[in-house]
A and B are shown apart, each in its own frame.
Chain A
C-alpha cells in the first residue's frame, strides 16, 4: 500500500517538477540585464555583445533554449557555467553536501530543542517553566536569523576579541573542526523552526492530554512519564511532522544568508553569486536541485505518517 502511495506521489510530483523547471528557466531571464551585458560590461561594443550572445546560444528563441536545457537535464547534464565554463553538476556536487549538512544539523537541532521543551511546557502548563519556554519561543520566532548571526559574530569580538570560526574545514582534514564549524550556523538556522515546532508540540500535546484515553491512562495509575511520552506524545507529533515538512524549504532558504555570514561554501552562496552574474545554467541547475530536494523531503514526511500512526494506510 505504502509503495503504491509513494508511486502515486512521485507521479504527482512530476508536473510540479515540470512547472518548477519552467519557472526557474524563465524567471532569471526576466531580471533586467543579461550575462552577456555583465561579461562585456566595460567593452560595450554592440558587435561583441551580439557575437558572445550567439556563441552562448542566448540569441535563440526561449522555447528552443528551454527544450534543449530540459532534455539535457533529463539526461543528468545541467550544462556549463557561462562564466567559469565548469559543469554545473560538478559545481553543485561540491557544494550540495555543505548545504545539506547545514540543513540537516539545523533540523536536528530544531527537533532536539522543540520536542523536549514543548513536552515540558505542556506537561507543566502555566508554571514558570511554561512561561519561560513560551516567551523563548516567541523570541525565537521574532528574531531574524541574520540579526542573531551578526550579534553572535560581532559581540564576542568586541567584548573578548574572539570570533567564531570562518572559512571551511573538510571532514577528512579535521573531523572535529568540521563538525564544530557547523554548530553556530545550525543553531541559528534551527532556532526559528524550533520555536514554531515547540509551540505546536505544546498545543497539540495539551489537546491530547485532555482526551478521554489519556484520562484513562492517568486513572490506571500510570507514571506521568509513560502517559505523556507513550500515550500522548505519539499522537501529538503527527501535525508537528507536517509542520516540519513545511519548515524544511524555509531552512534551505535560510542557508543563503547564514552561509554568507559564516563563510560556508555551500550551494546557496553559489546561487546568490550566479543570480548576480545572470549565470542562467547555474541558477536553473541549483533551483532544479533544490525543488527536487524539497519534493523528495515532502515525500519522506508523508511516508513518516504511516510509521507514526498505524491507522494511516493508503
Chain B
C-alpha cells in the first residue's frame, strides 16, 4: 500500500486521537449519570428487522440502542477503530462442544422493556429460539442468508440455548455479534401487532427504550432503568433528529446541536470537513477527532466466466489501468487507502497492498503494462464493454466512476455506462446478473469472511464475478473450518495474496473517516459499524 503524505498525516491523526482519548479517560471524572445526547440519524422505514427493508442501516442503528444480541463487540477508548473483540451481551458465556455446536448460557434476570405486551417479562432461551426462527423464516428478510449455517436452534433449559450448524463456521460468533444480524425480538409483541413494524412494537432488552417516534422528524430514547448491567447506561436520554439537508446539518453541527458527526458512523464527510474545520476550531474547540479508514470498499466486478475477463491477463491489465491514487486525489481530498480483497479498514485481517507479494505489482497504475498484457491476451486494440452502475445518491461515487471509465479508455477498453435505478441495480448487477462489468461499493461487513467467502465462493449470491476457482474455494472452506485464530489469520492472508494475482475483482480505494464527537462525551470511541448504542453504552456526559 502506498502511503501518501496525506495518508501519513491521517494516520498521525489517528495516533493523535488515540492520545486524546487516552488523556480524556485518564483525566476524566468518575462516570456521571444523566444528560441528553443529541444525534442526527435517519428515519427508519419501520421497526421490523426481519421485514423487507429491514436490512437498512436506518433501522439497525436505532435498534443498537433498544435491542441486545447474544454477544457483542467491545467498545470504548481501549478498542482501536477497525478491530473487533467479543464480549458477552445477553449470553454470559458460551461453549463449543464440537465444530458444529455452540451452547450459550444466558444471563439470568434479564427483563424485556417494561412496555405492553412484554411488560418486563424475563428474557429466556425460548426468546432466542423464537428470534432465530423468525430471522430465518420471515418472507422477504434480506439478511436471512447470514445465518444459513444454522441447522437447528433449541432451548436446552430456561437459560441455555443450543445452536447446531450444518457446517463448521469459525465466524459464527462474529455473525451473532454483528449489529446488523441477530437483535433479540419479543414474541408477544410480534403476535400482538402482527409484525414489528410499528414504533410501539420496538421492545427489546437494550440499554435505552424508544420513548417517542416522530415520523420524518426523529425519536427520543430514554434510559432503561431495568437494564441488565447495573448502573448502565449513564446517559439518560438520546434525542435523535432526522435532518435531510446537508446545509442544515452543517449549521446544526457548527451550532453544537449534534454530539457526534452527522454521517455514519459518527463522522463528517471529508469534503465538508475541509470546509468547516477552521470554523469548528473556533465554535467547538473541545471537539475530539479521530481518523480511520472506512470499510466501505468499491470494486470492479467482471464476468470471469466469459471472455475476455476469463483471461487473467485481461483482469491484471484492468487493475494496472486503474489510477487508484488519482481517484483518491480527485474525489477524497487526497486521503484514502488502497484495498486488497479484504478492506484495509479491517486492521486485524487485511494485508497491506505492498505486502501482497507477487500480486502487489498489479495495484500499480501502469497503462503501458496494461496495454502489453492486453496485447498478450489477444486484444492489441482493446475491446468494448459496459459497466453496470447505480449512483447510490453519491456524487463522489459518480466522480470516481468517471475516472474508472477514463482509465479503462486510456488502455483501449471502451466501456459504455449502463446506469440503473437503485432497485434495478441491486436486483440484477449487484448479484452478478450483468453481461460485462459493474462498479460500485460493497456492504461494509465487520469481518473478512463476508468479503471473501461471500464474494468468491461458487454460487454465493454476492459472487458477482461468477468465480469458480477450485483452489480458491478450498482455501475459503478451510479458513471457515480453522478455529485457531492465528492459523486462520495466516490462511486469510494467503487467500488475499492469491487473489491479488488473480484480480477477480479490481478493488479501488476506501476513504478515511473523520469521526468527531463533543468533548463532553467521555469514555466514547468511534469505530466501524452500526453499533452506536454499544459504543455509547458506558459513555457519559461531562457538560
Contact = CB atoms under 8 A, between A and B. Distances in A.
B217 to A, nearest CB: 5
Nearest to A161: B283
**Size class of the B contact interface (CB-based, 8 Å):** 35 or more
A263 B242 contact: yes
B251 interface: yes
The DSSP consensus for interface residues of chain B is loop
Contact of B279 (A34, A158, A168): A158
A157 interface: yes
A107 B40 CA distance: 32
A83 B53 CA distance: 8
Contact of A83 (B46, B279, B421): B46
A83 B217 contact: no
Given A37-B424, A52-B140, A84-B46, A157 B216 contact: no
A131 interface: no
Given A32-B421, A84-B46, A278-B423, A39 B53 contact: yes
A48 B53 CA distance: 14
Contact of A161 (B141, B214, B215, B255): B255
Contacts, number: 126
Interface in B264-283: 276, 279, 283
Contact of B422 (A38, A158, A263): A38
B242 A157 contact: no
B53 to A, nearest CB: 6
A31 B45 CA distance: 21
B217 A265 contact: yes
Contact of A263 (B143, B215, B241, B420): B241
A305 interface: no
A42 B252 CA distance: 33
Nearest to A156: B251
B20 interface: no
A41 B53 CA distance: 8
B244 A263 contact: yes
A163 B252 contact: yes
Interface in A42-82: 42-44, 48-49, 51-52
Contacts of A161: 254-256, 283
Contact of A42 (B55, B215, B247, B251): B55
Nearest to B241: A167
* Best-surrounded residue of A39, A85, A158, A265 (most CB of chain B within 10 A): A158
B461 A44 contact: yes
Contact of B427 (A41, A94, A277): A41
B284 to A, nearest CB: 8
30 contacts: A33-B420, A33-B423, A41-B55, A41-B427, A42-B426, A43-B144, A44-B427, A44-B431, A48-B140, A49-B427, A51-B139, A52-B52, A84-B197, A150-B245, A153-B248, A153-B251, A154-B250, A157-B251, A157-B252, A162-B255, A163-B257, A167-B217, A168-B217, A260-B244, A261-B247, A261-B248, A262-B245, A263-B243, A269-B216, A269-B244
Nearest 5 interchain pairs by C-beta: A157-B251, A37-B423, A33-B423, A38-B423, A33-B421
Interface of B: 43, 45-46, 52-53, 55, 139-144, 197, 214-218, 241-245, 247-248, 250-252, 254-257, 276, 279, 283, 420-424, 426-428, 430-431, 461
Given A41-B422, A158-B276, A161-B256, 9 more contacts: A33-B423, A37-B423, A37-B424, A44-B461, A48-B139, A167-B241, A168-B214, A265-B214, A277-B45
